[in-house]
């Protein structure tokens, strides 16, 4: 017996190891026992609960980063939405012009208004077509509804338009029913109302008559709608006429540029009186 105890104390490390290993193996064998199964289920629940709390705490710490990330995502999405909306609006305006049955847009150059300067005195439009697209100075700018203005400056990719609602703009107009002629101008103020000058008091012009560009214009082709007469005020020699413009300048996004009106003979005969004598 003493010998056994001596051996036991001498090798108790090994004995302890064997005992622990045996218990472990027993547990492995009883892996699917109900008690162990319940213990495992309980531990999984506990573990999940602690993990959830820890995740919540970590989430609070990372809230700044999360907000920053969401802000980036929002910005990205907003940019995409804006791009899509802009493209859709452009396409709508484009197809609106192209599908207008009363207006033949072939031979015209289409451009988008990329900038505008509106004030009570000066109005300028900038379009995204320049001399590379065939734009030249003095070309007529219009939309199916009517006259927009004329090109006054051209760069490689852009052109500047002097719209009808510019105090320096003048164009010869004629009434489509009474053939009354006058000079259209804009005196500032309300952007939808322009004036017609040099209409003699003897002319048969009436309210609501439609005015179109006349052949007298140096840049514009004839027959482009300009507006409708809304007020006629008689003066000593001439009428003071207010015209409601056909084009809504506040919502102008797409425009058409008409080919340049080339009438060299007309210009020459207007400026050169000697030419007449040379002809038979």
Residues at the site binding another protein, with contacts judged by CB under 8 A: 12-13, 16-17, 20-21, 23-31, 36, 39-40, 43-44, 47, 50-51, 54
CA dist 256 → 98, 157, 207, 227 (Å)? 10, 15, 29, 18
Q: Kindly state the smallest distance separating residue 65's Cβ from another protein, in Å.
A: 17
**Structural element, H or E, at residue 124:** strand 123-127
Q: Kindly state the smallest distance separating residue 15's Cβ from another protein, in Å.
A: 10
Nearer to another protein, 51 or 95 (CB): 51
Residues 6 or more apart whose CB falls under 8 angstroms from that of 255 comprise 110, 111, 112, 113, 125, 127, 141, 142, 143, 148, 161
Cα–Cα dist 144/168, whole Å:
23
Whether the CA torsion 232, 165, 82, 159 is positive or negative: it is: positive
Nearer to another protein, 23 or 82 (CB): 23
Nearer to another protein, 65 or 236 (CB): 65
β-strands 146-154, 109-118 pairing: unpaired
Nearer to another protein, 55 or 187 (CB): 55
Q: Kindly state the smallest distance separating residue 57's Cβ from another protein, in Å.
A: 11
**Structural element, H or E, at residue 83:** helix 63-98
Long-range contacts: 80-83, Cβ < 8 Å, 24+?
none
Q: Kindly state the smallest distance separating residue 29's Cβ from another protein, in Å.
A: 7
Evaluate whether 254 touches 143 at the Cβ level (below 8 Å).
yes
Nearer to another protein, 4 or 14 (CB): 14
Q: Kindly state the smallest distance separating residue 85's Cβ from another protein, in Å.
A: 43
Q: Kindly state the smallest distance separating residue 66's Cβ from another protein, in Å.
A: 18
Nearer to another protein, 26 or 276 (CB): 26
């Amino acid at each position: 017996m003493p010998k056994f105890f001596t051996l036991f104390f001498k090798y108790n490390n090994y004995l302890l190891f064997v005992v622990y290993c045996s218990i472990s193996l027993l547990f492995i064998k009883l892996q699917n026992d109900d008690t162990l199964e319940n213990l495992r289920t309980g531990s999984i629940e506990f573990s999940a609960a602690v993990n959830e709390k820890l995740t919540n705490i970590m989430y609070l710490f990372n809230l700044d980063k999360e907000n920053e990330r969401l802000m980036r995502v929002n910005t990205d999405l907003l940019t995409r939405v804006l791009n899509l909306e802009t493209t859709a609006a452009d396409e709508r305006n484009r197809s609106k012009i192209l599908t207008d049955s009363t207006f033949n847009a072939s031979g015209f150059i289409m451009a988008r208004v990329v900038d505008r300067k509106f004030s009570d005195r000066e109005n300028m439009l900038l379009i995204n077509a320049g001399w590379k697209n065939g734009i030249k100075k003095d070309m007529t700018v219009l939309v199916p509804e009517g006259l927009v203005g004329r090109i006054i400056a051209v760069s490689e990719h852009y052109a500047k338009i002097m719209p009808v609602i510019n105090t320096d703009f003048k164009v010869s107009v004629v009434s489509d029913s009474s053939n009354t002629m006058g000079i259209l101008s804009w005196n500032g103020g309300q952007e939808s109302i322009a004036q017609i000058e040099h209409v003699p008091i003897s002319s048969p012009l009436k309210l609501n008559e439609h005015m179109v560009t006349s052949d007298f214009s140096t840049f514009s082709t004839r027959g482009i709608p300009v507006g409708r007469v809304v007020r006629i005020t008689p003066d000593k020699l001439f009428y003071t006429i207010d015209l409601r413009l056909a084009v809504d300048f506040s919502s102008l996004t797409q425009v058409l540029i008409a080919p340049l009106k080339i009438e060299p003979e007309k210009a020459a005969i207007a400026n050169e009186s000697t030419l007449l004598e040379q002809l038979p």
